[in-house]
Structure 1
Amino acid sequence: MFKWLLLFAGAGLIYLWIKGKKQAGLDAMKSPRPNQNKPEKAVLPEVMVQCQYCKVHLPQLEAFSFDKRFYCSKEHLQTLDEAGWVGDAHWRISPNQDSRPENVQADLAVIHHISLPPGEFRKQVSSHHIVNFFQNKLDPAGHPYFAEIADQKVSSHFLITRTGELIQFVSTHNKAWHAGKSHFQGREKCNDFSIGIELEGDGDTPFEASQYRTLVNLIHQLTSTYPQLQFAGHSDIAPDRKTDPGISFDWKKFQKETAISLEKLPFGLDPR
């Protein structure tokens, strides 16, 4: 009797196994088959970009990007390149520039202040008016003061806005039209040998901490290329005409945070 039970159990297992295999085959026939004629999805090539500073090519996903430019490292992004442009500045090229005299390099940085319209930065963001002014795009109808200055051709190498944004208009290799009639240590026409740095503000309102931070970083970038730079205010080189950067500019803070030697600040550290 026990033998017959084993025999029936074995037969039942075999039947279930055969039935399972048959069902698996039916299921496989019902499952949708891939379209043999459908082409495989193309693998897109990796996008390559070029470092603005050193010109090396690298995958875009690995690059540091700023203002629609690419850099292979933060060091190159935060450096003055061979063409005289700072990587972490917004480039807004001004037509108001020309070449420096032959064999003349910048050895003076001039600090200014500017506000368009005057004092407007206290109430609202207005730095775009300065950008338009330096690019000869200022709308004379935009403000009564604009009608007075719209025809002037002015520029600076750099502008630092109230929020600390750095904007560059002219390569440091070229002359920006920022100093006007001026003289420094017996030399006239300071535009020929200087770099102009505008701080958004006026002579009465303290400048922002973010502006000092950006200014300090900029000075470090400039002095790595121009180690002989001396520093002055616009009022120092055009005392009969100008008062900027004004009494609110903290020359002691500037000297301390940049670690510039006192001999490169020939007009001293007192407010003026």
Structure 2
Amino acid sequence: MEIKKAENYNGKISTLRRNTTFKTPQKWDVIVNHITEGLMPGTLNWLTNVKKVETSPGELHYAAEVSCHFLVTRKGEIYQLADLHHGTWHALKRSPSARIVKERSAPPNLYTVGIEHEGVHKETQGRLTAAQYEATLWLHKYIIEQYEATYKEPFLVDRDHILGHYEVDTVNRSITDPGREFPWEELLTDLIKWDKERKTVKQDPKNGPYVNDKGERLWFRVLAGSYKTRAEAEAALKELESKGFKDSWLMAAYVKEK
């Protein structure tokens, strides 16, 4: 699966420059899903719009004042609009129903990754095309792996950490973002299955009896015995080596005698 960089994307900062928070966000351990309420290419142009408009005499504001990290189109294309290490303006907190958002005092934009899905709610109710679903499933896995590579800890794959915009803002978004028919059950089922499988040690007859998803082999060590003197232990070690056990070593430890 390919991630396309939006026009003028800067991996160190953001293509959105004025639509993102330059302050380094907290650990981005929550994913928030959205619906764009617009179609390509207009929705991509809007999300990357940094032009100023005069909203009232003498007052200039950025036209969009909205942004996200990724956009998934109905064709299954993935666009990256901002770097994961920068907060975007996608999830303003208003009477949230999500437990994790209610418990945290920090603005959600500082610890969430925003994914917009191309679509119009009144037409789709949040349904995704087959290509769009496969793309967002892949993207969720990608974000999870990026989190784990960055913070050296597991991402919690559950509905507390994979949300809809309506769970962050119950005032303006209600159930319409991303929509009642957004495939929550399918998405979580597939992600949990993938998460479990990648953490399970697998048997591989070609590369060894036990190999994990990183290609690392699991080895089993066998203690040959315990000896009261170093001379006895060294003699046993030499005997093992003479029989082909090259990966053997001597170790010592204090043991309270009974």
Aligned ranges for residues 1-272 of structure 1 at < 5 Å? 88-92=2-6, 93-95=15-17, 96-101=19-24, 104-116=26-38, 126-136=39-49, 151-182=63-94, 183=96, 184-188=101-105, 189-204=107-122, 205=124, 206-226=127-147, 227-229=154-156, 230-242=161-173, 243-259=176-192
Query: Post-superposition shift, 1:245?
Result: 0.6
Unaligned stretches of 5+ residues in structure 1: 1-77, 79-87, 117-125, 141-148, 263-272
Q: How far apart in 1 are the matches of 2:4 and 2:193?
A: 26
Shift, 1:98, TM fit = 2.0
Structure-2 change in CA distance of 1:111 and 1:153 (3 Å) = same
> Structure 2 stretches of 5 or more lacking a match?
7-14, 54-60, 148-153, 196-258
Aligned in 2, Cα 1:185/1:137: closer, same or farther, shift over 3 Å? closer
Amino acid in the other structure paired with 2:138: N
Q: Which amino acid aligns with 1:186?
A: E
Q: 1:261 offset after TM fit, Å?
A: 9.7
Aligned partners of 2:166 and 2:178 also within 8 Å: yes
Query: Which one-letter code corresponds to 1:214 in the other structure?
Result: A
Q: Could you tell me how far 1:99 is from its partner in structure 2?
A: 3.0
Q: Kindly tell me: are residues 91 and 261 of structure 1, through their superposed partners in 2, closer, same or farther at Cα, counting changes over 3 Å?
A: closer
Change (3 A) 1:241 1:217: same
Give the % identical residues. 28
Counterpart of 1:195 in structure 2: which amino acid? V
Which digits, 9 at most, give the CA deviation of each residue in 1:139-185, with x for residues without a partner?
x9xxxxxxxx9823111000001101000100011001111234513
1: CA distance between counterparts of 2:193 and 2:46? 31
Q: Which amino acid aligns with 1:134?
A: L
Deviations 1:41-80 (A, max 9, x none): xxxxxxxxxxxxxxxxxxxxxxxxxxxxxxxxxxxxx6xx
Q: How many residues align?
A: 158
State TM-score, norm by structure 1.
0.52
Higher relative contact order (CA 8 A, sep 6+): 2
Do the aligned residues in 1 keep the contact of 2:92 with 2:168 (CA within 8 Å)? Answer: no
Paired with 1:135 and 1:224, the residues of 2 have a C-alpha distance of: 26
Aligned-partner Cα distance in 1 for 2:68–2:87: 9
TM-score normalized with structure 2 length:
0.55
Q: Give runs of ≥4 in structure 1 deviating > 6 Å.
A: none
Contact 1:203 1:247 in 2 (8 A): no
CA distance in 1, matches of 2:189, 2:86: 29
Please tell me the root mean square deviation across aligned C-alpha atoms, in Å. 2.7
For residues 186 and 261 of structure 1, the distance between their equivalents in structure 2, rounded to whole angstroms, comes to 28
Question: Quick one: distance in 2 between partners of 1:109 and 1:100?
Answer: 19
**Secondary structure in 1 matching 2:141:** helix
Larger Cα-atom Rg: 1
Whether contact under 8 Å (1:127, 1:161) holds in the other structure is yes
Name the aligned partner's letter for residue 207 of structure 1: L
- The answer to whether the 8 A contact 1:100-1:173 is kept is no
Aligned residue for 1:27? none
Confirm or deny: 8 A CA contact 1:111 1:245 kept in the other structure.
Answer: yes
